[in-house]
Amino acid sequence: MKGFLFALFLIASNISLAAEDNVSRERLERHLRTLRIVELSSFDERRRPYQEQQIQYSRILKKAAEGDSSAVAQVDEAIARIFDLRVQLTQIDKDMLNALSKELTAQQRAKLALVFGSLRDQMRQEIQKMRPAEGRKSPEK
């Protein structure tokens, strides 16, 4: 996730930077990038507990799907909690996008939003590729 946030930060920075070679402007931009990195890491910290809970509830659902009778009783609660957690994570994403785009023009914000969504989709696809398919054993090394 940190790699995603850093990539998103770099893209946002490149969108917002002007092509001037002014030394004082470069210092200011470096300072702003440092502040943004700190700001982005705070979003990571906000996301972490929700992600951990989501993993925990996903494990319950997986156990229930495999027939674990103790997990079956927790299915409805786990589903409801996962949806609640997704709402929270979406709000954090919205806050992060707003923080990254607050000084951008409307066109730059539109580009950033497209990149943001595209990177999320790419990450999701890569995670899916890393997971073994249902019914197949993961390759042994």
Cβ atoms of 57 and 15 closer than 8 Å: no
Residue the block writes with tokens 């070679």:
21
- The CA distance from 12 to 4, in Å, is 12
Confidence band for 133, pLDDT divided at 50, 70 and 90: low
Confidence band for 141, pLDDT divided at 50, 70 and 90: very low
Q: Compute the residue count for the chain.
A: 141
The residues spanned by each domain of the chain are 2-119
**Alpha helix stretches (DSSP H) within the chain:** 2-16, 23-65, 69-72, 75-101, 106-130
Please report the sign of the dihedral spanned by the C-alpha atoms of residue 51, residue 54, residue 55, residue 56.
Answer: positive
Could you read off the pLDDT of 78-103 as tens digits, one per residue?
999 999 999 999 899 888 888 888 88
